[in-house]
Structure 1
Amino acid sequence: MSTRLPFWATIFTVAGVIVLCGLGTWQVQRLSWKNDIIAGLNAAYDNPQSQAIDIAAFTPGSYAYGRISGVFLPDKAILLGPKTKKDKIGYDLIVPVKQNGTAVFVNMGWTASKLEDLPIHHLQNKKVWFEGLARTPRWNSFTPENDPEKNLWYKPDLNEIAAAKNLKNPAPFILYAERASHKFDASFPNNERWMPANNHLQYTVFWFTMALALCAIYVLRFIRKS
């Protein structure tokens, strides 16, 4: 006796399985991509080089580890945040460095001090270098809008910051400094080594599990019942 399967239920089930497997496959590709990034970052952290970062070759969303050098501009520094550290409210200190006509924003780390109290102003217009990880800044839709007139900065919109500080040609990344040419004091730079979140394996398992669950529901509901 032949089994007649419901047409629309079959169509929707097949389409659902295709979509879910497609999402799972996409996460497998993302997992491989993220693993390559993490491996590259680990290699850079384990074997730090003093080579200059190629600003022109940097693409948004990528990462680079190395050195930038140029003229230090603490008079155009900002405090980005707020950001909590060890139950204390503070900010990330962002200072631009002018390198061959490009404004490179350097994150020197967390501070709870006011800009005018920081040990950076004695190096105004001095030649400096910083080494660390360059990465594209990000923020979400819940981040408040910046208020340049009050010098209040919540999101690292580099073009907006550059315009407010009268800086031309901002680099497309922030350098999270780990080492510097000068000793500011014991607190700078103080960035911790960063790694991107990698949850793609869990997402892969989830989407393929959903595909299997959909198949099981279809079999139990229509084929086994018949």
Structure 2
Amino acid sequence: MKRIPVFATLVVMAAVAIMIYLGIWQLQRAQWKNDLLVEYAAAEGKSVVKWPVRPDPENLPLFRRSSLDCGQVTGWRSSSGRSRNNTAGYAHIATCNLAGDENATAQVVIGWSKSPKSPDWNGGRVEGIIGPDSKHMLRLVSGTPADGFRSNASPSLENIPNNHMAYAWQWFFFAFIAALIYVLALVKRAKEDSG
């Protein structure tokens, strides 16, 4: 019988160890995300926060009430969204220069409609709820829509991805399969050597 190949065994063991490490890391991330979701769920009863001009990506005040002064609208984008009564359509998001700080901008969801055409809104005081934004980390969802538009649905915890547990099991499964395939290869090699 030939000796077990040392280099190949070390490579497989290292790969399996890395996959197990990634699985454990994802379990830790799952716990972190669960704690974060509990904090977000409790945000509704918390006090109003000042709009975070320079948000900390690790400590976003999502789902908290806030306000800002949109000094000037510098752009618009429309994305798929739902109205407060859960009708599908378009959320209209203004990019605002904040009054008093020309270098600070904010994303403001100012209304919902069935058309992608942006509202005729030029800024002003906005009060609402801070929600996640895929391009800019966060946005303020106005509680009062622009004239001729309807209110958007409030930000929802359902839109916060929480798939770390699935990723953890995926890494553990990959580690198991890699180890199993290597053991089967060694058994096959041993049979061929003895036969």
Distance 1:76 1:84, change over 3 A: same
Instruction: Kindly indicate whether the alpha-carbon contact (under 8 Å) linking 1:77 and 1:93 is maintained by their aligned counterparts in 2.
Output: no
Aligned to 1:105: 107
Distance 1:97 1:49, change over 3 A: farther
Q: Tell me the secondary structure at the aligned position of residue 63 of structure 1.
A: coil
Q: Is 2:56 aligned against 1:59?
A: yes
Partners of 2:148 and 2:156 lie apart in 1 by 20
Which segments of 5 or more consecutive residues in structure 2 lack a partner in the other structure? Answer: none
Instruction: Kindly indicate whether the alpha-carbon contact (under 8 Å) linking 1:176 and 1:191 is maintained by their aligned counterparts in 2.
Output: no
Aligned to 2:150: 187
Partners of 2:171 and 2:46 lie apart in 1 by 38
Which segments of 5 or more consecutive residues in structure 1 lack a partner in the other structure? Answer: 139-171
Aligned to 2:180: 216
Distance 1:41 1:84, change over 3 A: closer
Distance 1:99 1:193, change over 3 A: farther
Distance 1:223 1:48, change over 3 A: same
Cα deviation 1:139-198 (Å, max 9, x = unaligned): xxxxxxxxxxxxxxxxxxxxxxxxxxxxxxxxx654241524x88567124344243111
Aligned CA-pair RMSD: 3.5
How far the C-alpha of 1:62 sits from its partner, in A, is: 4.7
Identity %: 21
Trace 1:77-156 onto structure 2 (pairs within 5 A).
78-81=76-79, 83=80, 90-95=89-94, 96=96, 98-101=98-101, 102-113=104-115, 114-115=117-118, 118=119, 121=121, 124=122, 126=124, 128-138=125-135
Partners of 1:48 and 1:39 lie apart in 2 by 13
Cα deviation 1:37-96 (Å, max 9, x = unaligned): 212211114x2532323324x1246521230222464x6452324x3769x985321232
Counting matched residue pairs gives 180
Distance 1:70 1:48, change over 3 A: same
Aligned to 1:15: 14
Distance 1:93 1:4, change over 3 A: same
Aligned to 2:39: 40
Counterpart code for 1:133? I
How far the C-alpha of 1:99 sits from its partner, in A, is: 3.9
Q: Tell me the secondary structure at the aligned position of residue 173 of structure 2.
A: helix
Partners of 1:136 and 1:176 lie apart in 2 by 9
Partners of 1:61 and 1:91 lie apart in 2 by 29
